[in-house]
Amino acid sequence: MKDSDIHRIVEILREAVKEWKQPIVTQIAERERNPFRILISTILSLRTKDDVTALASERLFSLAKTPEEMLKLSEEEIAKAIYPVGFYRNKAKTIKEICKTLVKKYNGKVPDDLEELLKLKGVGRKTANLVITLGYNKPGICVDTHVHRIVNRLGYVKTRTPEETEFALREKLPIEYWIEFNDLLVTLGQTICHPISPRCSICPIREYCDRIEVKRSR
C-alpha cells in the first residue's frame, strides 16, 4: 500500500465497523468513560475472550466501583468474581496492588500520563495507551496483536514486535487517527483479518492491502 492510502483505509473502516461487534473494552468505554473501569477491564481482557471479559468485568464492578472499594475485597473475592479469565489469580493480585498504588500515590485517580501509567504493576504499553485513548480521549497509539499484524500485512510498516510497531506508527500515522486506530483494526482483526486464513474476499480494504505473509485466505 501507499502511505497516502491510510486516509481512505480509515474512512472505509469507520463505516464498516458500524456493522461489526466492537471489542469489549471499547463497549465499556462507550457506556461510561471511566478510566478506572477501562484500566481494570483491559487487564482482565489480556489472554481472555471478550465474552468472558464482559461477564467478569460486570461481576467485579458490581462488588467494587473504585480503587478504594476494591481494596475492601480480598484477593480471593476478586479472583472468584473474575474467574474464568486467563490467569485470574495473578490478575486478582495485580488488581489489588494497582489499587493500593492508585490510592496511596494518586489519590484514587488513574493517571492520564503514559509514563505514570507504566509505573503501575502489570500495566504495559498496550494497556497504558488504551487508558489514555479510551479513558481520557487523549492521543495515544495502542498496539496489540491485531494492530501489529494488520499494519504489517497491509505493508504500512515493517516491524517485528508490537512495541516497534507502536513507535513506527507514532512516526508516520497522522495524529488525528491515533485515538480510533486501535478500535478500527482490532474490530477488523476479530471479524475479517484473522491471523490464519483471513477472509480477504470480503475485506472492505482488500484493494489497499499488500497481503504480506498471507499464505492462505478465504
Task: Provide the annotated active-site residues.
Answer: 126, 144
* Beta carbons of 125 and 118 less than 8 angstroms apart: yes
Q: How many CB atoms lie within 10 A of CB 163?
A: 14
- Between the CA of residue 149 and those of 116, 132, 198, what are the distances in Å? 28, 22, 11
**What whole-number distance in Å separates Cα of residue 64 and Cα of residue 62?**
6
Distance CA 62, CA 80 (A): 13
Measured at the CA of 216, the angle between CA 213 and CA 217, to 5 degrees, comes to 105
